[in-house]
Structure 1
Amino acid sequence: MQASATDADFRQLRHQTKNALQRILLLIEEHPALQQDESAQTLAADLQRRITLVAAISDALFGFTQCPEHFVQRLRALCEGLVMLLGSAEQAIRVGVLVAGRCPSPLEEIVLRVAHEFVGNAVKHGMYARNGGRIDVRLDCDGHQTRLTVTDDGWGYVDQPAAGEGLSLASLIAAEQDGTVTLSRRGSRTQATLLLPYASREGADRTTS
């Protein structure tokens, strides 16, 4: 009985959130000040786009407005959504997602939350004020460990970077499963790595994009 009540609670929360977001988007679309000229209309469209992306990213992380999809779909939607949300319209940032093996179910939420911080940092810092670039997200899962790497060809760093909020959060989340987070510079590319010492007994598969 408790499980049914919990399901109903989540359904109502998602329903309320979705209705609220739809109303906000409609207010933006119909506001007279945002329809006066082409620049105002462009701003309104961009606001609507970014609000929709925030909801999609929150769905991938927490099931904000709808039930979470399959893990690989969530990871891909999260990474692509972050690039579109945090990048500028003038940038051409490509993102590739590759998953080798099957992520153990107990680690899925940790991987998604750390990927959120890694990709966000790559866009905000690595791609800052650049015309474009490439971000590669790779998840490798075998019977001994689960490794997430996010690599970008952005600005990088000269000295060892101070841990900002994103990297600190990633380390804190990883520690829940005795995992580690590292940041390194390899040639012209910056690589953020999450390593989780978890032995998966699930069958392996391979999904690429």
Structure 2
Amino acid sequence: QKENIFFLRDCHWQQLGAYYVAQSFAKAADVKFAKLSDYDKYEKDCLGSVYAATKYDGLMYEGETFTYYVPKNDYTTEYYNADYEYQFEYPLMPASDYSASSFYSLYMVADSYIKHITTDVKNDRVLVVLKDDYPSAMIPCLTSSFSEIYVIDVRYCNFNVASFCVEHGATDVLVGMTPENALGEIGDTLSYLLNI
């Protein structure tokens, strides 16, 4: 309760909250998990989604601190479009693109891209994450746990995700989204993508 795991002025969680959830998932999956001391820690000012929605100038002077953790292990990230066609290779957390008002885009650039992360972990575990925007902060916390990670935002996907998991040798699947989305249109989209 005393830790800063949620924002006051944004609908997402701080990465520390995502770290704890990733830790629980890694324990359930029985894979190694990096300590927070194994990350590079950064702090930036952010304005949050409340400011982005309202443009209320008073919130510009009431920003809060965005704390994020960058993994130190070796990994590469490839970005694909909704049809899983290769687009480019780019950092997983491109700090050079940081913006105080759209800071959550620090995680993997944009939700509209499918990501393929190849890490230096040698356990032959392949994780597929089916998500909305909320779990994005979890993904960097799992680069020390899996050899490969595929990240698919189900809102930007044009193929059968069950077949994708089989074709890419998934050993683990994580479905991560807010309850509101899981019970609503995005949950319906996931159901559709499992059956097309």
Query: Which TM-score band (shorter chain)?
Result: under 0.3
Which protein has greater RCO, CA pairs closer than 8 Å, 6+ apart? 2
TM-score, structure 1 normalization: 0.22
Structure (1 or 2) with the larger CA radius of gyration: 1
